[in-house]
């Protein structure tokens, strides 16, 4: 069974455990805690006392379309846009058919609404076009507008963080996404997945495994592609060994990525020095395992008097060959008349007349050459 097959089955199984909650469920829903254990008495030995169970993780569910639309209405009202024309435009944007939109579709509709009613957001979205991306990263002062509220800041930060991940700017993306609250974003699965991608590329093993575990086990509405890739990243991080050659290779790839993004500062130089130090440690360890390297014992098969001539081992003859046996007695490529005629017909039938003419010229040219003399 291949690694991809194992990861696929694991991702599908975990996706089944993370089935979306019913409509109208709360944003964050905690599991029921276990009943309180009886208090130990003095007669119970400490080792026999019941161990307190860890608190269950909160189950993160995406909000319903009605909840998101309500928050959008409140955001517009805070901006002084509570008139009838604004309400009609909002109703057109947030009208869905019979099919319930996915969290990804809700998130896209949220960003589109921000664009419709905020020119600065429209400008930021235009600057984040991947088809015209440059080395310079767009500035996002819109994320610092506290007056717009936590809902606006969280979802716009997720949009910009997702853009940074697509640009392979994992350090900047992770620093931004770690400030985003799961309770405020429309698409929590995308937030957790983007964080996991950053932590995986930056070789943050423990935080990455914790994020993937949250995504696969305690988040509903996770797309299948997220679950599949998260399962592969989980397996990859679990098999990652500290100070191994695999880790060094990944660090070298990370430095190459930073250099391609014109990152040449002290942080990159420090990582390069760490790679050299790790390589030295690995080489030293290998040499110690091999007993300090080879070459000290010398070559025991080395002869003190090499042979003067090249001869077959164990032979008694001088190795001379009779030149008469290699005398050139005819032209190269000579054929009997019948076979030559048949070959010409086959060539004409398979390759056409122009090939036959080329072969005829070649034969005439060869016939005019003198026979090569045999070497003595």
User: pTM of this prediction?
Assistant: 0.60
Q: How far is CA 363 from the centre of its chain?
A: 59
Break the chain into its structural domains and give their ranges: 3-29+57-130+138-240
Instruction: Give the tokens for residue 78.
Output: 């805070």
Mean pLDDT on 289-293? 70
Lowest-confidence range among 38-47, 187-196, 199-208? 38-47
Model confidence pLDDT, tens digit, residues 42-66: 444 545 545 545 455 678 999 999 9
* 119-124 own/partner pairs: CB under 8 Å, 24+ apart: 121/156, 124/156, 124/160
Higher pLDDT, 307 or 95: 95
Q: Where are the alpha helices (DSSP H) in the chain?
A: 3-17, 65-78, 84-93, 103-117, 119-127, 149-166, 170-177, 188-201, 205-217, 224-238, 245-260, 266-289, 337-351, 353-367
Residue 63's contacts (CB-CB under 8 Å, 6 or more residues apart) are 27, 71, 106, 186
Q: Is 337 left (phi over 0), alpha (psi -120 to 50) or beta?
A: alpha
Phi, psi of 29 (to 5 degrees): -120, 120
Model confidence pLDDT, tens digit, residues 63-108: 999 999 999 999 999 988 888 888 888 988 888 878 889 999 999 9
């Amino acid at each position: 069974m291949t690694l991809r097959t194992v990861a696929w089955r694991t991702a599908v199984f975990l996706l089944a455990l993370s089935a979306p909650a019913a409509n109208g469920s709360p944003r964050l829903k905690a599991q029921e805690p276990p009943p309180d254990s009886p208090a130990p008495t003095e007669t119970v030995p400490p080792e026999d006392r019941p161990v307190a169970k860890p608190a269950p993780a909160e189950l993160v569910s995406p909000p319903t379309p009605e909840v998101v639309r309500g928050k959008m209405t409140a955001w517009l009202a805070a901006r002084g846009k509570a008139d009838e024309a604004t309400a009609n435009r909002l109703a057109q944007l947030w009208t869905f058919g019979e099919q319930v939109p996915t969290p990804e579709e809700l998130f896209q509709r949220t960003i589109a609404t921000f664009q419709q009613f905020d020119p600065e957001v429209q400008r930021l979205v235009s600057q984040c076009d991947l088809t015209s991306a440059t080395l310079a990263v767009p500035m996002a002062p819109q994320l610092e507008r506290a007056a717009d509220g936590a809902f606006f800041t969280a979802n716009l930060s997720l949009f910009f963080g997702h853009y940074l991940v697509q640009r392979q700017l994992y350090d900047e993306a992770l620093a931004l996404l770690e400030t985003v609250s799961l309770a405020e974003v429309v698409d929590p699965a995308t937030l957790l997945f983007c964080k996991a991608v950053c932590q995986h590329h930056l070789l943050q093993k423990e935080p990455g495994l914790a994020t993937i575990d949250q995504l696969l086990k305690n988040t509903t509405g996770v797309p299948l592609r997220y679950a599949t890739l998260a399962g592969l990243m989980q397996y990859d991080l679990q098999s990652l060994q500290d100070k191994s050659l695999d880790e060094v290779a990944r660090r070298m790839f990370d430095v190459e990525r930073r250099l391609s993004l014109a990152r040449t500062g002290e942080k990159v130089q420090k990582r390069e020095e760490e790679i050299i130090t790790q390589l030295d440690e690995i080489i030293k360890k290998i040499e110690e395992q091999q007993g300090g390297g080879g070459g000290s014992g010398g070559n025991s098969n080395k002869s003190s008097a090499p042979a003067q001539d090249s001869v077959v081992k164990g032979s008694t003859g001088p190795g001379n060959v009779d030149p008469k046996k290699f005398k050139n007695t005819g032209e190269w490529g000579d054929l009997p008349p019948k076979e030559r005629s048949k070959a010409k017909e086959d060539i004409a039938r398979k390759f056409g007349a122009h090939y036959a003419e080329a072969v005829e010229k070649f034969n005439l040219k060869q016939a005019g050459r003198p026979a090569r003399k045999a070497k003595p």
